[in-house]
Amino acid sequence: MKSLVIGPFPNLWPTVGTAVLIDDYCLSDDESVSARNVTFEVATNCFKNQKHNDDLYKTITKLSEVYLEELTLQLNTYHGKKFPNKYWSLVVSHWLMKCIEDLVKTYTEVNQAINEHNCSCVNVSSASSKDFTPNSSYDYAYLRLKEEYIVMLRSEAIRQMYCQSTNLKITETEIDSKASQRFVPKASKRAQVLTGMNLLISNLFRKVTRRAQIFVTTSYLPIWSEIFLKLSLRQIPTIRIISEIKTSSTRSEFRNHIFDNVKTINPIEVFISSQIKWLIPRTYLEDYNALENLINSSNLPEKPRVIFTANSFDTDDEFKIWSAQKMLGGSVYVVMQHGNNFGTYRYPIHPEIQLADYFLTWGWSNHPKEIPLFCQTIKQRKRVGLKNNHSLLILRRQVPLRENITDHPNRLRESLLEENKILTTLNKEIRMVTKFKDHPASKHKTDIFDPGVNTVGAEKKFLKHTKAAKQIYSTNKLVFFECYSTGVLECLSLNIPVIFYWPEGLDSIRDESVEDFRELENSQILFFSGVKAAAHVNTIWSDLDVWWESPQVQEARKNFVDKYARSTDCPIRQLRKTLKVIERERW
């Protein structure tokens, strides 16, 4: 008998038989589970097929447009407004697309797991989406990565699909959930002190701040660079603080009928309509007026000509509502790239590109409003001197925290097994000088996922997160990334010897960008196997510069950097000039 397991909680696991895990996050280190007479297998990853993913992305994009149109109508009705579609798009699009993506992928993976593995029973959570209404889009960003929430969504999908089926036995159980609590971690004492100082400065210079013509916030520049940029634009350099408001009770009657006019033609759409109405952040409905009043009494500029950000467009509801209001008055909305996937990822959930009047990139451009500039985290073009020429640094991928709701085995058990194969492949002399650095977000213990720890002749040596990334990269002979990240781009731009492997392949890359990655592959910077990457390290280790300084490698590096990781010696001056030009053109 096969039982589907949809989460790591002990009461979701069977007591006997075979457990089919939707993903590796369902593994449990609870003693009561390990004592059971249960074998397990992991369900097939249904998101590896490019054509299937292309179809899913089209579905998500189309449904987002449908629900955005209806949500615009309903929010205007609820609040007594007549705002255009663009206003509500700027406010809700990021949350909406992520929520629909989560719902579509949850329904898809649950359905496939049950059918392909012939599961006959499943334990589900008795919780419902009503129990998880987020206070804000900031809350939702944390909520969508919590196991309790993911288990609830899977449970709701199973109940809808098999409520009248006799082929699948469904048993409801209670999960020890913290749904009634906020999902965002509480601010530290240091953060509270900084917030207080920030508010003091803001109040002292309230009149100056309210008159700012070019408003800059969360630019992704180093903190001192952002301060100098703000000063050069005559803006008081305060830090944006997401305000706290007293939350209102959920208006169940209105939410229950908010999407009644959306025509549902298939089971996935029925599932979305039944769930998404409870997942709308309260800041868009019940708490919108309170947040609007808070904005009107805040220190945000009254009549900015240009609004610039690289981060706040996503989960800062106060900023988004204020920006949408100012755009109606003619303010120019400018967004800058934040992250390595822009311009290359095949399935982008990046509505900020379409919503911005101008989008500043790290080098690429596919549209007149996309302006190539530079990567904010890279300060210089010249090569950083190598202070320690004998160490190999391996940068691990984010393990085992989720990056999204449908993370799968290749992000956990398989990547850790591959990591141990890499160590086994490396020559002993290299292995003895190898150091690891965890992803900053990897805060959970990895023992349960890493059966190969300490089996390759030496304990893995980990660096603490105490230095800036560039300092860490530059103190090693070679940097080895277990994934494609902004760190890879930083190393390439700074001409620091680097290789990375990408087990997922290039199926998730835009057709127009595939050739750029192939050039890195041909230059042996990019690998699709960790073992092959390690074998390459063995080959080049004794004389690294012969490989790294070769014409083929340097040409591939420069071509890639010019498109995706440009740098500048004068980031403040260049960014200030760009914003001033935009201001003159539009005002």
Rounded to an integer, the average pLDDT of 446-475 is 53
**CA distance linking residue 181 with residue 278, whole number of Å:** 16
Confidence label for 323 from pLDDT (cuts 50, 70 and 90)? very high
Domain ranges of the chain: 2-42, 191-246+302-377+570-586, 392-564
**Residue 325: pLDDT above 60?**
yes
> Which helix (H) or strand (E) is 142 found in, with range?
helix 137-143
Residue 452 — pLDDT band, cuts 50, 70, 90?
very low
Residues across the chain: 587
The answer on pLDDT for 280 being more than 50 is: yes
Q: What is the mean pLDDT of the chain?
A: 85
Across residues 146-152, what is the average pLDDT?
A: 92
**Which DSSP category does 485 fall into?**
-
Place of tokens 């190898």: 434
249: amino acid identity, one letter = S
Task: Give 445's pLDDT tier (boundaries 50, 70, 90).
Answer: very low
Compute φ and ψ for 433, nearest 5 degrees.
-115, 20
Per-residue pLDDT at 177: 55
Phi-psi region of 280 (alpha: psi -120 to 50; beta: other; left: phi over 0): beta
CA dist 396 and 481 (Å) reads 6
324/387: higher pLDDT: 324
pLDDT at residue 162, rounded to an integer: 83
Strand 370-372 to 392-395 pairing = unpaired
C-alpha span between 25 and 8 (Å, rounded): 6
Query: According to the model, what pLDDT value does residue 462 have?
Result: 58
pLDDT tens-digit map of 372-427:
999 998 865 444 455 556 889 998 876 555 666 655 544 566 777 888 889 899 99
* Site of tokens 């000509």: 305
* Tokens 């904005």 found at: 295
CATH topology of domain 191-246+302-377+570-586: Rossmann fold (3.40.50)
Higher confidence at residue 211 or residue 585?
585
Q: H or E segment at 556?
A: helix 551-564
Residue 344 scores a pLDDT above 50: yes
The per-residue pLDDT for 403 is 61
Q: Is the pLDDT of residue 272 over 80?
A: yes
Weakest-pLDDT range from 49-53, 68-72, 580-584: 49-53
Tell which residue, 511, 490, 482, has the closest CA to residue 347: 511
The three-state secondary structure class of 279 is coil
Helix locations, 237-316, DSSP H = 252-256, 267-276, 288-296
| 62 compared with 26, residue with greater pLDDT | 62
What confidence score (pLDDT) does residue 189 get? 62
181-224 pLDDT tens trace: 444 555 556 555 655 665 666 566 656 666 778 999 999 998 88
Q: Which helix (H) or strand (E) holds 147?
A: helix 147-162
Are both 191-246+302-377+570-586 and 392-564 of the same fold? yes
Report strand pairing: 306-309 vs 214-217.
parallel
- As given in the structure block, the two tokens for residue 223 are 């903190």
**Mean pLDDT over residues 264-287, rounded?**
94
Stretch 510-523: mean pLDDT, rounded?
96
Nearest to 278 by CA among 256, 301, 260: 256
Angstrom distance (rounded) from CA 459 to CA 104 = 42
How far is it, in rounded angstroms, from Cα 562 to Cα 361? 11
Quick check: 274 pLDDT over 90? Answer: yes
Asked whether the predicted pLDDT for residue 453 surpasses 50, the reply is no
Long-range Cβ pairs for the range 148-151 (8 Å, 24+): 148/7, 148/175, 148/177, 148/178, 148/179, 149/179, 150/7, 150/25, 150/106, 150/405, 151/6, 151/7, 151/9, 151/12, 151/124, 151/125, 151/127, 151/175
Q: What's the token pair of residue 407?
A: 């993370």
| pLDDT: which is higher, 175 or 55 | 55
Give the residues across from 3 on adjacent strands. 19, 121
What pLDDT score does 349 carry?
Answer: 86
- Closest to 567 measured CA to CA, from 363, 368, 365: 363
Q: Cα-atom radius of gyration of the chain, to the nearest Å?
A: 25
More confident: 176 or 39: 39
Report the range of poorest mean pLDDT among 273-277, 414-418, 493-497, 582-586: 414-418
First to last CA, the chain: 70
The CATH class for the domain spanning 392-564 reads alpha beta
Residue 314 has pLDDT above 80, yes or no: yes
Least confident piece of the model among 51-55, 203-207, 219-223, 227-231: 203-207
For position 505, what pLDDT does the model report?
86
